[in-house]
Amino acid sequence: MIDTTVDVINKLGLHARASGKLIEVTTKFKSKIQIGKGEKLVDAKNILSLLMLGAGKGTTLRLVIDGPDEEKALSEVLALFAAKFYEAD
């Protein structure tokens, strides 16, 4: 199990389009992927749950991944956040 944090650095935060891109990544993996603030974690494969987080720019989110492909899932999720969800600044 991997338990780490990731910072939201894109200008608009985890809004609908960014959440959709995150769903595209997370649903490729068998691992259980959860994201949230502190102890309040939600399913990172559910767009409504992601939108309810209200994670704006500068938010630090906790990322918990557990399963057979957790390392690959972590790598792709972190890359997506680092690339600012491929949005223009």
> Which domain CATH number covers 76?
3.30.1340.10
Q: For residues 11 and 65, what is the distance between their CA atoms, to the nearest angstrom?
A: 25
Report the mean per-residue pLDDT for the chain: 96
Residues of the chain with pLDDT under 50: none
Q: Give the tokens for residue 79.
A: 């890359």
Q: Which stretches within the chain are classed as H helix?
A: 16-26, 47-52, 70-82
pLDDT of residue 38: 86
Domain that holds residue 53: 2-86
pTM of the model: 0.94
Q: Which of 2, 11, 13, 15 is catalytic?
A: 15
Active-site annotation holds for 29:
no
Q: Please give the angle made by the CA atoms of 24, 59 and 51, to the nearest 5 degrees.
A: 45
- The total domain count for the chain is 1
Write the pLDDT tens digit of every residue in 34-56.
999 989 999 999 999 999 999 99
